[in-house]
């Protein structure tokens, strides 16, 4: 199929070109992000391939449909950036990659936890500057801590598996408890009990209307003083302003973020020569006990290989049968970005 591949980065090109050797789609890599102003670039293509920060609103989708585009192939799991009702009313099929490497995200979660605890980011800069003082670098043992895991699906379960190796006690919260996590020794508890009793809290649930700002001022108020909070799931699970207040008061001892609620205009771009206009993000970035990564938890070789393979297979299935098992439809949709 002829595919307009929007928002293409060098790593996308590398993994998609490799995977496409067994599909032979005609893929055109385009740098612009897809939105209503760039949709015209899809003229002459049957499918567009897009990522988390492309904007597929009603206007973009209408334009794509006018141009003859019949499929939106998301190269990610989440689809909150797509107006599914608009796609369905114009007979444009939307497909996604539901799972690619839960290991990547689980391992990045642990990377943030260990780096924060042992202050690796600060130690790295000190030693490069010839400063071998240990003052201010005091950590704590992960062994023996109680870790609260919110959301125990594919990624949460792997985080629990890894933390078991450290000798942690696990409290879990999920509306649908996972028997695998129970067999790993996790204890399911009401959310408030998890918030009150955990030394470390890590988020692995989707963003839905119910989970928007799950971690707000009230939730922070219930947590232990000096709690470590990690969010590799979705930015808007956390109220960033409440978290800044929590950092200033010392309620939050350490904060690790791979996602940020207003990341759309910043993440995945090199803005190093520009002034960051988002004051909340800029403030978060000033704390010595905060590490922010730019939505890179998924970013491993294995994940990119799986993303490319599944996306191209989705397109091939649609081309051959008019159907796709990874189709997303408005009736089943939840806000679940990644």
Which residues are catalytic, by number?
Answer: 234, 263, 295
Which segment (14-22, 113-121, 124-132, 171-179) binds ligand NAD by CB under 6 A? Answer: 171-179
Beta carbons within 8 Å of 166's beta carbon, 6+ residues apart: 142, 143, 145
The stretches of the chain forming alpha helices (DSSP H) are 10-20, 58-66, 84-89, 102-117, 120-128, 154-166, 179-183, 191-197, 217-222, 240-249, 279-284, 301-321
Contact between 161 and ligand NAD per CB under 6 A: no
**Binding residue for ligand NAD, selected from 42, 150, 181, 223, defined by CB under 6 A:** 150
Residues 260-289 that bind ligand NAD (CB under 6 A): none
Which segment (115-123, 172-180, 304-312, 317-325) binds ligand NAD by CB under 6 A? Answer: 172-180
CA pair distance 315, 72, nearest whole angstrom? 9
Contact between 259 and ligand NAD per CB under 6 A: yes
SS3 312: helix
For the record, the structure tokens of 151 come out as: 């959301």
User: Among all residues, whose Cβ is closest to ligand NAD?
Assistant: 153
Closer by beta carbon to ligand NAD, 38 or else 178: 178
Size of the site for ligand NAD (CB under 6 A): 32
CB of 150 to ligand NAD, least distance (A): 5
| Of 139, 142, 136, residue with least CA distance to 167 | 142
Per the listing, tokens 């091939």 go with: 316
| Of 122, 145, 153, 121, residue with least CA distance to 135 | 122
Contact between 171 and ligand NAD per CB under 6 A: no
Tell me, residue by residue from 295 to 314, as one string, x for binding to ligand NAD by CB under 6 A and - for no binding: x-xx----------------
Contact between 175 and ligand NAD per CB under 6 A: yes
Residues 95-134 that bind ligand NAD (CB under 6 A): 99, 102, 105
CA pair distance 337, 236, nearest whole angstrom? 10
Tell me, residue by residue from 24 to 63, as one string, x for binding to ligand NAD by CB under 6 A and - for no binding: ----------------------------------------
Q: Is 35 in contact with 53 (CB distance < 8 Å)? A: no
Tell me, residue by residue from 79 to 98, as one string, x for binding to ligand NAD by CB under 6 A and - for no binding: --------------------
CA pair distance 207, 81, nearest whole angstrom? 12
For the record, the structure tokens of 213 come out as: 């700002």
Closer by beta carbon to ligand NAD, 199 or else 263: 263
Q: What does each C-alpha distance from 63 to 48, 105, 124, 251, 315 come to in angstroms?
A: 12, 35, 49, 49, 20
For the record, the structure tokens of 310 come out as: 């599944």
Q: Is 52 in contact with 81 (CB distance < 8 Å)? A: yes
Contact between 148 and ligand NAD per CB under 6 A: no
Which residues of this protein are in contact with ligand NAD, per CB under 6 A?
77, 99, 102, 105, 150-156, 173-176, 204-206, 208, 210-211, 232-234, 258-259, 295, 297-298, 336-338
């Amino acid at each position: 199929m002829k595919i307009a591949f929007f928002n293409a980065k060098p790593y996308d090109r590398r993994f998609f070109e490799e995977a496409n050797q067994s599909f032979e789609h005609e893929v055109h890599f385009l740098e612009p992000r897809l939105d209503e102003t760039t949709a015209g670039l899809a003229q002459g293509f049957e499918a567009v391939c897009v990522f988390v920060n492309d904007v597929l609103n009603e206007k973009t989708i209408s334009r794509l449909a006018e141009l003859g585009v019949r499929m939106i192939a998301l190269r990610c799991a989440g689809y909150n950036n797509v107006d599914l009702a608009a796609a369905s009313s114009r007979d444009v099929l939307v497909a996604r990659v539901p799972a690619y490497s839960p290991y990547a995200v689980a391992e990045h979660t642990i990377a943030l936890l260990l780096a924060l605890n042992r202050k690796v980011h600060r130690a790295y800069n000190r030693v490069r500057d010839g400063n071998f003082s240990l003052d201010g670098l005091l950590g704590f043992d992960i062994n023996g801590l109680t870790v609260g895991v919110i959301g125990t699906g594919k990624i949460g379960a792997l985080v629990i598996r890894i933390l078991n190796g450290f000798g942690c006690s696990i409290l879990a919260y999920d509306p649908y408890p996972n028997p695998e996590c129970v067999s790993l020794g996790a204890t399911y508890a009401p959310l408030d009990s998890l918030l009150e009793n955990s030394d470390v809290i890590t988020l692995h649930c989707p963003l839905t209307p119910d989970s928007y700002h799950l971690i707000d001022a009230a939730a922070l108020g219930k947590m232990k003083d000096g709690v470590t909070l990690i969010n590799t799931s979705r930015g808007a699970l956390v109220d960033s302003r409440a978290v800044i207040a929590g950092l200033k008061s010392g309620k939050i001892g350490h904060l690790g973020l791979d996602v940020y609620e207003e990341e759309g205009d910043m993440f995945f771009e090199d803005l190093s020569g520009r002034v960051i206009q988002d004051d909340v993000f800029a403030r978060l970035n000033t704390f010595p006990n905060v590490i922010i990564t730019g939505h890179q938890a998924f970013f491993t070789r294995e994940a990119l290989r799986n993303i490319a393979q599944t996306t191209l297979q989705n397109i091939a299935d649609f081309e051959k049968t008019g159907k796709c098992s990874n189709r997303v439809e408005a009736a089943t949709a939840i806000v679940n970005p990644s």
